[in-house]
Copies of this chain bind each other. A is one copy, B any other.
Amino acid sequence: MPSIDVCLSPEMLHLYDLSGKVAVVVDVLRATSSMVTAFAHGIQKIIPVSSLADCLALREADFLTAAERDGRQAEGFDLGNSPFSYMTSDIKGKTLIMTTTNGTHAIKLSVAADVVLTGAFLNVGKVAEFVQATGKDVVVVCAGWKGNFNLEDTLFAGALAERLGTAFKPANDATLAAQHLYRLAQNDMLTFLSASSHVQRLKNLNIVRDVAFCLQEDVYEVVPVLKGDYLVSLESIAVS
């Protein structure tokens, strides 16, 4: 039986052997939620990079750039980290170079996996379907906050474990904890998370609307997947 393992922070990722497995990288607030939203609105490629400098260095004439640091859009870039900014036909067919405080770095750290997906509540059902179809072990890589544990990414891991159900065995205690927490939170995640550090941080930045949006399940049916050094939508791999 395949297993589902959860890595609660990138700081622990070196303890995990990702080879032969599917890595699902999650940064609910807001990197992977924004990526899912962007693919749902027709973006063609997202190049995740770790630094602002790389983001600028890789820019080409018709590329879009997105950069977030400490919850705010960095100056000199086209876009920030709000999913609402990706809900536009202007991004259709475009390539986006993106760097965020936690999420893009977690993607770069996960390349040892056979397949690297990005997950969010917005596409959790489709991620579960894809993982089930592969039959491989899965490791959820929580982006966390600057190396620390966070609640919202852990809740996503619990949600994915619940969707995978009894066909996937919890590989460790982190999976069990994530499932317990998700079951507690699922009926009202916004209230459950209201005391959490990142939601407090985002409240201070007046982006509660983003949080509420990112906590919705199954809004989109796209699954961003890493192909070399950029993300594409899973369907575009299937047909290419």
Cβ contacts under 8 Å, A174 to chain B: 148-149
Could you tell me if A173 and B151 are in contact, using CB atoms closer than 8 angstroms? yes
Cβ contacts under 8 Å, A147 to chain B: 12, 15
Q: Say yes or no for A57: interface residue by CB 8 A criterion.
A: no
Q: Say yes or no for A229: interface residue by CB 8 A criterion.
A: no
Interface 1/0 per residue, A98-139 and B, CB below 8 Å: 000000000000000000000000000000000000000000
In the complex, which residues 174-216 of chain A have their Cβ closer than 8 Å to any Cβ of chain B?
Answer: 174, 176-177, 180-181, 184, 195-198
Copies of this chain:
2
Which of B12, B154, B184, B196 has a CB less than 8 Å from the CB of A9? B12
Cβ contacts under 8 Å, A8 to chain B: 8-9, 149
For the complex formed, measure the closest distance between the CB of A146 and the CB atoms of chain B, giving whole angstroms.
7
* Alpha-carbon separation in the docked complex, A172 to B195 (Å): 9
Once A8-B8, A181-B181 are accepted as A-B contacts, the answer to whether A173 and B146 lie under 8 Å apart by CB is no
4 more contacts with CB within 8 A, not counting A151-B176, A154-B173, are A8-B9, A9-B9, A11-B11, A149-B173
A-B contact pairs, 14 of them (CB 8 A): A9-B9, A9-B11, A9-B12, A11-B15, A12-B147, A12-B149, A145-B173, A148-B172, A149-B173, A154-B173, A173-B196, A177-B177, A180-B180, A181-B181
